[in-house]
Amino acid sequence: MTKKNVWVKGLAMPVMTVMLLVGRSSTVRASDQPAAAAAEVKIDNFSFGPQTLTIAVGTTVTWTNRDDIPHTIVSTDGVFKSKVRDTDEKFSYTFTKAGTYTYYCSVHPKMTGKIVVQ
């Protein structure tokens, strides 16, 4: 009984190692493609920072609301529109086409920002 347990443990180790190797090699393969780029916009004190963000096509931008008050992220041209985001909630959008995207907070429209996609 005791012997069997040891054997099982011994088997588990190599299995895990193989899994790690597989995981690693798939990561390497993925990096051969252009990596999915990410960028962040923070909402602090009723403003988007940075107010203008320049990114490459394909970049996913994630907004995080760090205020005590809810905000939204709404494209002025109807390209994207978040649900209301309370404290620490996030909204992401992937920009697949070059261009300039202006947006604002529909709750506090004085808050405006711009994403330039090149």
Partner 1 sequence: MADKKQGLIDQKLQDLNNDGIDRRGFLKCMAWAGTGLVWTMRGGIPMSQAFAKETGHHAGKGGDFSFVQISDSHMGFNKPANPDVSATLQAAVDKINGLAKKPEFLLHTGDISHLSRTEQFDNVDQILKSASAKELFFVPGEHDVLDDNGKAYLERYAKNAKGSGWYSFDKNGVHFIGLVNVLNLKAGGLGSLGGQQLEWLEDDVKHLKHSTPIVVFAHIPLWTVYPEWGWGTQDSAQALGYLKKFGSVTVLNGHIHQIMQKVEGNVTFHTAMSTAFPQPQPGKADSPGPMKVPAGQLRSVLGITDVNSIRAPHSLAVVDSTLA
Q: Which residues bind partner 1 (CB under 8 A)?
A: 45-47, 67-70, 72, 76, 83-84, 86-87, 102-104, 106-110, 112
Contacts of 56 (CB under 8 A, 6+ apart): 37, 117, 118
C-beta closer to partner 1: residue 20 or 86: 86
Q: CB of residue 22 vs partner 1: minimum separation in angstroms?
A: 43
C-beta closer to partner 1: residue 54 or 76: 76
Q: CB of residue 102 vs partner 1: minimum separation in angstroms?
A: 7
C-beta closer to partner 1: residue 7 or 46: 46
d(CA 16, CA 21): 9
d(CA 18, CA 38): 30
Q: CB–CB of 84/71 below 8 Å?
A: yes
Distance of CA 103 to the CA centre of its chain: 18
Q: CB of residue 104 vs partner 1: minimum separation in angstroms?
A: 4
Name the strand (E) or helix (H) holding 74.
Answer: strand 74-75
The two three-digit tokens of residue 7, written as one number: 């054997």
C-beta closer to partner 1: residue 56 or 77: 77
Q: CB of residue 13 vs partner 1: minimum separation in angstroms?
A: 48
